[in-house]
Amino acid sequence: MTDTVDRSSGLDAPLAGIRIVALEQFGAGPFATLYLADMGAEVIKIEDPATAGDVGRHIPPGQVGTNSLYFETFNRGKRSLLLDLKNSSGRAVFERLIQGSDAVFNNLRGDLVAQMGLTYQTLGQVNPRIVCASLSGYGRTRQQSSRPGYDALVQAEAGWAAVTGEPDGPPVKSGLSLADYAAGLMAALGLMIALFDAQRTGRGRDVDTSLYDGAVAMLTYPATWYLSAGIVTERQPMSAHPSIVPFQFFETADGYLAVACPKEKFFRQLAELVDVPGLADDPRFASFADRREHREALLALLGERFRQGSTEFWIERLQGSIPCAPVRSLPRALDTTELEARNMLASYPHDIFGEVRAVGTPFSLGGFQPQYRAAPTLDGDRSAILEELGYSTEEIAGLTAQGAFGQHAG
């Protein structure tokens, strides 16, 4: 695979000219810079020679050598440079790279960030404009900074699992790594805010966020209810909303249906369309508060009725009048025709996998269309990056001999 230096998205890319040096691996960290790369930022992944690069390169299925579909998911359009930051020559290359960069991002364990000299206190001496963003498990400066953080652990500890699943079942983790992704978006937001400020003031700063803080932030109104009034949000059957009724899944004759009535008018329309005698005029269901109080009675009536028709029948009957949707399988949700129609299909050629098809950027900017490119091969951009930094062929050979790119680098 060739180096990915080509900027085929063009100079009109919103983040063209922005360079982010990323010490990132696995999911949360690379997800933080994914959409920034899609928007034209140059994201240079500094990968560790001791681990054969980002651990995501080695995750099956769809894994060949140091390439994997998991890695492609989070790293398209980036560049790769193996660099040993514990080696003085490797560190020198890193600091020269920082001189011409806008931000350095990492998702290392919190206590390692300062140890590795990745804070503004250190790198600000190299480049006063540099933004130093860190996404760790539990933060850089707190007592738990040395704890490794992973999505499942954070979903458990931050209370997510306690509010997910059936009331009489065990606590449940989301089927997706949502704590990772929420924290990645938080990190990207913090980085861009600090970057905007650095462009305005000429001075960078540290940005610190964590998987745990991001997950706690996502508790939103259940947290406000508890912190302000001591109200504990409990799990509800069929993925129901804790206070709005009905707002949940219902079983149908052949599947499941999601129904949401967040406005009074929607419940009135639902009551007419389901043909349950007396439902529309029943005083037990007259208001949000009444329906919450008599939740079990209402859901029993609706549940019995929905089981009498297929999911398709109810979609045709209800859609356009009240918010509803079928509960679809993953293959059905990833229908490529639908993804293309929504401009949500990222498709590009790959030397190993032929064609990679993934989910694209979930927002659009007028006048710009991302040009998706393959994720980089391990260390595939070394020569180009070093030449751009002004190193001669002889200097590169010397750095290699000194172990800047790992003890066994060629």
pLDDT in tens, 185-199: 999 999 999 999 999
- The predicted structure's pLDDT at residue 408: 65
Phi-psi region of 356 (alpha: psi -120 to 50; beta: other; left: phi over 0): beta
- The predicted structure's pLDDT at residue 8: 40
- 237-251+256-326 has the same fold as 19-218+337-401: no
In angstroms, the CA 42 to CA 77 distance is 8
In angstroms, the CA 209 to CA 133 distance is 8
- The predicted structure's pLDDT at residue 358: 97
Strands 42-47 and 103-106, bridge-based pairing: unpaired
* Domain parsing of the chain, residue ranges: 19-218+337-401, 237-251+256-326
Per CATH, the number for 19-218+337-401 is 3.40.50.10540
119-128, long-range: CB < 8 A, 24+ apart: 119/206, 120/204, 120/205, 120/206, 123/95, 123/98, 124/203, 124/204, 126/95, 126/98, 126/99, 127/98, 127/99, 127/100, 127/101, 127/204, 128/202, 128/203, 128/204
In the block, residue with structure tokens 């458990």: 156
List the structure tokens of 88: 């003085």
Angle, helices 178-201 vs 28-38, to 10°: value is 50
Closest CA to 314 of 254, 266, 262, 264: 254
- The predicted structure's pLDDT at residue 11: 58
- The predicted structure's pLDDT at residue 141: 83
What does R_g of the chain's alpha carbons equal in angstroms? 25
Say what the pTM is: 0.93
- The predicted structure's pLDDT at residue 80: 98
- pLDDT tens-digit map of 216-242: 999 999 999 999 999 999 999 999 999
Residues of the chain scoring pLDDT < 50: 1-9
Q: How is domain 237-251+256-326 classified at the CATH fold level?
A: formyl-coa transferase, domain 3 (3.30.1540)
List the structure tokens of 136: 């760790």
Side chain identity at residue 233, one-letter code: T
